[in-house]
Amino acid sequence: LVGHSMGAAQAMQAVSLAPQRYAAAAALGGSGTIRPSEPLKKLPFFIAVGKQDFALSGARGLRDRLTKAGVERVAYHEMPDVEHLGIVQQSLGEVFQFFEEIQKARGGKK
């Protein structure tokens, strides 16, 4: 599951409500609230934000909340000279690579 900006907040809400339904989640240029749980700890997260993005502090906060909740894998990337809209174009390749790594680690299961 991937979301950008307000979509990132929606994605975080969805994975918090039913983490077992997803293989991984990505938040680009955004954050959201999470509900810590045992299944959430197993869900890999990818967070990307530009250093010129107004959502920078929110993305950092999401990273910190996931870490505090005991999530085992949180990939966090701050991209220099990237603003809010540019983060999707700049990071989407990395998101797909992250998702492919997760899929391979799960034995190819989607």
pLDDT classification of 110: cutoffs 50, 70, 90? low
Nearest C-alpha neighbor of 62 from the set 74, 80, 79: 74
pLDDT band at 109 (very low <50, low <70, confident <90, very high): low
Lowest mean pLDDT among 49-53, 57-61, 68-72, 106-110: 106-110
pLDDT number for residue 17: 96
Q: Distance of CA 100 to CAs 40, 55, 94, Å?
A: 19, 26, 10
- Mean pLDDT, range 50-78, rounded to an integer: 98
Q: Which residues pair with 61 in a beta bridge?
A: none
Cα dihedral sign, 11-78-64-55: negative
pLDDT of residue 48 exceeding 80, the answer is yes
